[in-house]
Amino acid sequence: MRRTILKTFAATLATLALGGLTGTAVAQQKPVELTFYYPVAVGGPVTKIINDLVADFEKTHPTIKVKPVYAGTYQDSVVKALTAAKAGTPPQVAVLAAADVFTLIDEDAVVPIDSIANTPADKQWLDSFYPALMMNSRIDGHTWGVPFQRSTIVMYWNKDMFREAGLDPERAPANWTELASYAQKLTRRDASGNVTQWGIKVPSTGFGYWLFQAFTTPAGIELMNASGNKTFLNAPQAVESLQFWVDLAAKYKAMPTGSIEWGTTPKDFLEKKAAIIYTTTGNLTNIRTNATFPFGVGKMPSKVRGGSPTGGGNFYVFKKSTPQEKEAAMTFIKWATTPERAAQFGIDTGYVAVTPAAWETPAMKDYVRKVPAAAVARDQLGSSVAEFSTHDNQRVTKALNDALQAALTGTKSPKQALDDAQREADRILRPYAR
């Protein structure tokens, strides 16, 4: 009897143990779920591209599920992500503006990438990106963001309009003097004096501060320090840059006065309302697909140097994630930035493929042979600077954007507008000075 009881007890223990092991196995097989915030109100149609990217990833990584959440503009996305983080329900991974890195650090919302990816192989991977694209990623000895949807500002021009104006259709204006001259020749008016074709449009809404850097970089001034706690908004070169931007409309009469919308500028170019526009290289695929005329893509015209700010979004990993979620997020990020994937994303969107290795892939080499303009933004990286970025970035950027609008609409002189912006930036950044 006693022997029977012991056998029964042993069998019960074995069953419980087997059940526990089975439960553990099931638990281990349960996919790690990642919420992935992504901005879509940027250059080009990217929703389908990201959906396809995620689907391809999940096919080869069945233990990780990625749920994209599309959040509008970069500004919308960072606000949404920080609000979710404060509520305790942040995304595990997000593509947010590279320029918002200080804000994300100050809010204690994200973790350094190199705290998760910390092997020698990981260090080699992080060193594989273009140095210019890492300028907004490496802060205080740590890497906080991984380049993905990155860009520079480029010039698009209508070759037919150049030819009609007696200009070489294969040559963009190389400096500010040529830009003003070309823009005047390209501006057309009817018998009543009404403009039927603008020589140039440089958008000032949405990313006004960024387009301002398309002038300040060639003028030889960077608008903030590397620590993000000091700005130089009213430096002489900055005032000169804003004066030239204003003069394109007020003096040369080659650009509309007042605000020019970011979102409609590519459309105006496609509808032949403007001969030259400044916008992100991320609009290349959109313009290639829809242009009914030959067009060129060029670097920023120089003043004392060439160059553009970098722009666009980085991958970030959020702090309030489990260790398993952080590891899964890194798996996804590494996969998405492999040379083949980075190359395909650049081909599909027009954004800059973020590593030199991506440009060596057969697909990218074939693309550049067919579309040489795709290499312009890459080549400009050699002279690019960091996108304007500071602590409390949203407020400081608003002060600068407001100043730009005041000057472009004629309510303040460029110097007064930038003096006011610098004063406000100093006030906002005072707590961060060290």
- Does the pLDDT value for residue 4 go beyond 90? no
- Does the pLDDT value for residue 14 go beyond 70? no
Instruction: Write down the CATH superfamily of domain 32-151+311-380.
Output: Periplasmic binding protein-like II (3.40.190.10)
Cβ atoms of residues 255 and 202 within 8 Å: yes
Quote the pLDDT of residue 356.
Answer: 98
Average pLDDT on 334-342 reads: 98
- Whose tokens are 């002489």? That residue is 236
Quote the pLDDT of residue 124.
Answer: 97
CATH number of 152-310+387-432: 3.40.190.10
Quote the pLDDT of residue 297.
Answer: 97
pTM value is: 0.89
Cα–Cα distance for residue pair 24/18, rounded to 1 Å: 10
Cα–Cα distance for residue pair 368/340, rounded to 1 Å: 15
Q: Which residue has the higher pLDDT, 46 or 8?
A: 46
Cα–Cα distance for residue pair 179/27, rounded to 1 Å: 63
- Does the pLDDT value for residue 244 go beyond 90? yes
Q: Which residues contact 143 (CB under 8 A, 6 or more apart)?
A: 112, 113, 114, 126, 134, 137
Identify the three-state secondary structure at position 111. Answer: coil
User: Which residues pair with residue 310 across a beta bridge?
Assistant: 152
Give the β-pairing of 138-139 and 64-70.
unpaired
Dump pLDDT digits (tens) for 275-293. Answer: 999 999 989 999 999 999 9
Quote the pLDDT of residue 125.
Answer: 97
Per DSSP, the residues of 231-300 read B-TTSHHHHHHHHHHHHHHHTT--S-SS---TTTHHHHHHTTSEEEEEEEGGGHHHHHHH-SS-EEEEPP
- Can 32-151+311-380 and 152-310+387-432 be said to share one CATH topology? yes
Dump pLDDT digits (tens) for 35-44. Answer: 999 998 655 5
- Does the pLDDT value for residue 246 go beyond 70? yes
- Does the pLDDT value for residue 19 go beyond 80? no
Average pLDDT on 59-86 reads: 92
The full set of domain ranges for the chain reads 32-151+311-380, 152-310+387-432
Task: Indicate the angle between helix axes 208-219 and 393-408, nearest 10 degrees.
Answer: 80
Average pLDDT on 236-263 reads: 97
Cβ atoms of residues 137 and 317 within 8 Å: no
- Does the pLDDT value for residue 7 go beyond 80? no
Quote the pLDDT of residue 393.
Answer: 94
Portion of the chain with pLDDT greater than 90, in percent: 88
Quote the pLDDT of residue 43.
Answer: 53
Average pLDDT on 109-128 reads: 96
- Does the pLDDT value for residue 79 go beyond 50? yes
- Does the pLDDT value for residue 399 go beyond 60? yes
Average pLDDT on 319-325 reads: 96
Quote the pLDDT of residue 53.
Answer: 95
Cα–Cα distance for residue pair 262/123, rounded to 1 Å: 37
Quote the pLDDT of residue 42.
Answer: 56
Dump pLDDT digits (tens) for 400-424. Answer: 999 999 999 999 999 999 999 999 9
